[in-house]
Amino acid sequence: MDELINAIAAVIASKFGYDIVVDEMGEGFKRPSFFIYRISDLDMPMNRYTYNNNTIIQIVYFSPIDDYGNIKSRADQASTIETLKYKFMSDLAIEYDGKWAKIKQINSDYTGDKDIFLQLVLDTTIGTRQDPTVPTMKEINLKGGVN
């Protein structure tokens, strides 16, 4: 999933010149910045070798604050999140590590600290393994059976 979070960070970096944190958010971080993290994964088997993964990723936008610790501009917050929302909605999917994650749902709201966040619900289908008893194309000799 790190590849997926890095792909989301690349999309954000293409739109904004702010710092993007994808690991742990420590004390004393710079504003404006983004923090991206995975909230949850739900794996649902589709068949013996394939499963569907629904992942929720949250992107928090830490907008600039004034000397009193208040958000400088709610309009800046709304504009930034709407720009991100439009970018993700217009793409409908995120490419990562040679695979695609389809965007199923996008939500936005405010945190308890008055910062704003965007949640992406992503759908990926992943093949888990091959059946070792089934020969691959490299093992099949078309003139004489299986090698």
Cβ(115)–Cβ(65) below 8 Å: no
Distance from C-alpha of 147 to C-alpha of 138, rounded to nearest angstrom: 9
Give the largest Cα separation in the chain, rounded.
Answer: 80
- Taking the C-alpha atoms of residue 52 and residue 56, their distance in angstroms, rounded to an integer, is 13
Residue 97 belongs to what domain range? 2-146
Reading the block at residue 136, the tokens are 């691959």
Specify the CATH number for the domain of residue 128. Answer: 3.30.2000.10
What predicted TM-score, i.e. pTM, was given to this entire model? 0.79
Number of domains comprising the chain: 1
pLDDT tens for the 147 residues of the chain, in order: 689 999 999 999 999 999 999 877 777 788 899 999 999 888 887 777 788 889 999 999 999 998 888 899 889 999 999 999 999 999 899 999 888 999 999 999 988 778 899 999 999 877 766 666 665 655 566 666 555
What is the pairing mode between strands 19-21 and 116-127? Answer: unpaired
